[in-house]
Structure 1
Amino acid sequence: MSAEDLEDYEADLELQLYREYRDVVGLFTYVVETERRFYLANSVDLKAHHDDGEIYFELTLADAWVWDTWRSARFVKQVHVLTFKDVNIEEIAKSDFDPVRSIR
């Protein structure tokens, strides 16, 4: 396999993943970004912990979808994440997915 073939393969995987995201995003309530992953979830529990002057976050997601090209099963019942970086959680505005409003 040439480098160009590998690049084409990876680009195709990314496109497939984007299309899947576009198809499922309306099923979820939250968008969650960590330094390593991007998730869609219907339930989010975030706890900040302080340990010896360090801060870290414990994140539990339920009914989630994981943005990961190499993962065969992206729908996950529960995800538990520990991170030392910031976590971004946004509620998805359901009006963004209203086809009537999108046309106007």
Structure 2
Amino acid sequence: MSAADLENYENDMELALYREYRDVVQLFSYVVETERRFYLANRVDLQVRSAAGEVYFEVHLQDAWVWDVYRSKRFVKSVRVVTFKDVNVEELSREELSI
């Protein structure tokens, strides 16, 4: 496989992922962005924790969709994310859902 073939394959996967996002975004109420992933979810519980002087974030998501081109199944019932970086949680308005 040439470098151009690989790049075309990755571009096709990203385009397919965007199209899936466009199709499913209307099913969710929240967008959650962490340092490593982007999620859509219907329920979000964000907790700020500390241990040994370090602050971290624990996020529990219910009925979620994961933006990850390499996952075979992006819909998940429950997700627990722990991160030391900021977490951005936004509630989607119905106007934002029409792409």
Q: TM range, normalised to the smaller chain?
A: over 0.9
Q: Tell me, what secondary structure is at the counterpart of 1:94?
A: coil
Deviation at 1:52, TM superposition (A): 1.8
The aligned runs of 1:23-38 (5 Å cut-off) are: 23-38=23-38
Does 1:17 pair with 2:48? Answer: no
The structure with more radius of gyration: 1
Deviation at 1:95, TM superposition (A): 2.2
Aligned length: 99
Output aligned runs, 1:2-13, within 5 Å. 2-13=2-13
Q: Matches of 1:46 and 1:56 in 2, distance apart?
A: 11
Instruction: Among all aligned residue pairs of Structure 1 and Structure 2, give the percentage whose two residues are the same amino acid.
Output: 67
Structure 2, unmatched stretches of 5+, are: none
Query: How many Å separate the matches in 1 of 2:38 and 2:95?
Result: 21
| RCO higher in structure (CA 8 A, sep ≥6) | 2
Post-superposition Cα deviations, 1:7-54, rounded to whole Å, max 9, x if no partner, equal: 000000000000000110011000000000000000001111111221
When the two structures are superposed, what TM-score results if normalisation uses the length of structure 1?
0.91
RMSD across aligned positions (CA): 1.2
Q: Which runs of 4+ in 1 moved over 4 A?
A: none
Compare the two structures and name the one with the higher helix fraction. 1
